[in-house]
Amino acid sequence: MAYRKPGTLLPIEADILSAVAARGDRGAHGFVIAQDLAGGAESSKALVGHGTLYKALDRLRTRGLLTSEWEDSAAAEAAGRPRRRLYWITAAGATVLAEAAAPRRGFPIGEAPA
């Protein structure tokens, strides 16, 4: 099993944070996040697996990078579907996402500073 340094993001976690951040104040539920990761509703790319997605969402929520809450049951009932868990990016999540997107500083392997 591969281990990672504490505080680093897996590629799927960075993609999830980006997808949730793009939804803004509306929040995002699991299926729409999976669609965004696959390239949108019209994409022929396969959706990420249920277990993979929800484990990553839980890791991000546990680390304080996402927050979530269940939608109002009346709204779900009016739409004729089960309630959805909605996710929003936190300030800490936005910071981590910005750091992950920033160009890496340092030197290529094997090269020392001049």
Cβ atoms of residues 59 and 51 within 8 Å: no
Q: Which of 51, 49, 50, 56 is nearest to 4 (CA)?
A: 56
The pLDDT, as a whole number, for residue 108 is: 55
The pLDDT, as a whole number, for residue 74 is: 95
Domains and CATH numbers, the chain: 11-101 (1.10.10.10)
Distance of CA 1 to the CA centre of its chain: 22
pTM: 0.79
The pLDDT, as a whole number, for residue 14 is: 92
Ranges in the chain, pLDDT < 70 = 1-2, 41, 43-44, 104-114
Instruction: Give me the residues paired with residue 28 across strands.
Output: 87
